[in-house]
Amino acid sequence: MNIYVDSKMRDAERREELYRGSIFFHSPCQSTVKLCHLAQSLIEEAFRPLDPLRVHQSFPAEKSAELLAALKPRFIHHPEAKQHIQAMLSELGCDLEKTYFDVPRMRTAFPGDYLKSGIAYAFHPHRDTWYSAPFCQVNWWLPVYEITYDNCMAIHSQYWSRALRNGSAEYNYHKWNLESRHNAAQHVKTDTRIQPRPEEPVELEPQLRLIGDVGSVYLFSAAHLHSTVPNTSSVIRYSIDFRTVHLDDVLRQVGAPNVDSACTGTTIGDYLRTTDLSHLPQEAMALYLDGTEAKFVPGASTPVSALLGSETLR
């Protein structure tokens, strides 16, 4: 596995490297800083007059969950967020005509046991490919405020080519959409929704912790095992992530190797073309359909309407 810092590599080669498990770090640029500033302004507005990094010292967990349930969709659907991502993909060398992204998510990691399920889910070690992501998906991750080693995220790269027994065979993205996703804010203390988890002890060490300035961005394959570092700091960690796929790789069905993912369904309907926010062509999406999309969306006649989602947990 290689780690590239501010690489000027062309996107096609970068994706090949990502599919081999490499990680790319890019220093803050104009668009990434703007995206983080937008997130900061929405966060500060939601929790005013409190210090947004220390809300847990003043509010009960239920109150924070309630405010996050309003804040997170505001960010996800904010038109400026999409504009900044479009600019970011351009600044970082992507072909905008062929690069498709899904809407950005805002994540929170609260200190200790304050709030770590539902709307502020603390991610156990997982691969996004256990959650029906295609193997050509690239994950982009940015800290919104300054982060430290004790409130960031971690990649467990020793599992890149090593299978981990897991529950992904039970997971279907369309079923999840239908049954579970709309009530994340209700899961304040525990989360009873079925998710793919490791089913054997995970060797958490060594692990790679991703720490960068506000507006820096990490790229890694959806097939990397990654997790939320338990927040042992005194402040809340806010981060942004989103995912991309490239049309050529979708059509060629290339990407990272599958070592242990057994889920069904696909997130292929979630990605929007950078230039005009259109979905992937039907013939491209059709390559990833396995029939379950019709099973879990009664009466759906077109794949696009059957596949679309608005919130996710992976």
Nearest to Fe ion of 86, 221 (CB atom): 221
> Among 52-60, 168-176, 198-206, 306-314, which window interacts with Fe ion (CB under 5 A)?
306-314
Q: Do strands 99-101 and 272-273 pair parallel, antiparallel, or not at all (unpaired)?
A: antiparallel
> Among 125-133, 161-169, 198-206, 231-239, which window interacts with Fe ion (CB under 5 A)?
125-133
CB of 46 to Fe ion, least distance (A): 24
Nearest Cα residue to 107 out of 56, 50, 138, 145: 145
Identify the residue whose tokens are 């190797």.
Answer: 257
CB of 123 to Fe ion, least distance (A): 6
Lay out the site mask for Fe ion across 128-147 (x = CB under 5 A, - = otherwise). x-------------------
In whole angstroms, give the CA distance from residue 23 to residue 171: 27
In whole angstroms, give the CA distance from residue 169 to residue 131: 10
Q: Binding residue for Fe ion (CB under 5 A) from 15, 82, 175, 314?
A: 314
Asked if residue 187 binds Fe ion (CB under 5 A), the reply is no
Identify the DSSP state of 132.
Answer: T
Number of residues that make up the chain: 314
CB of 136 to Fe ion, least distance (A): 16
CB of 204 to Fe ion, least distance (A): 16
Asked if residue 270 binds Fe ion (CB under 5 A), the reply is no
Nearest to Fe ion of 17, 128 (CB atom): 128
Q: Are 136 and 219 in contact (CB under 8 A)?
A: no
Q: What are phi and psi of 219, to 5 degrees?
A: -115, 135
Asked if residue 102 binds Fe ion (CB under 5 A), the reply is no
Q: How many CA atoms lie within 13 A of 53 on its CB side?
A: 11
Q: Are 227 and 124 in contact (CB under 8 A)?
A: yes
CB of 126 to Fe ion, least distance (A): 6
Binding residues (CB under 5 A) for Fe ion: these are 128, 314
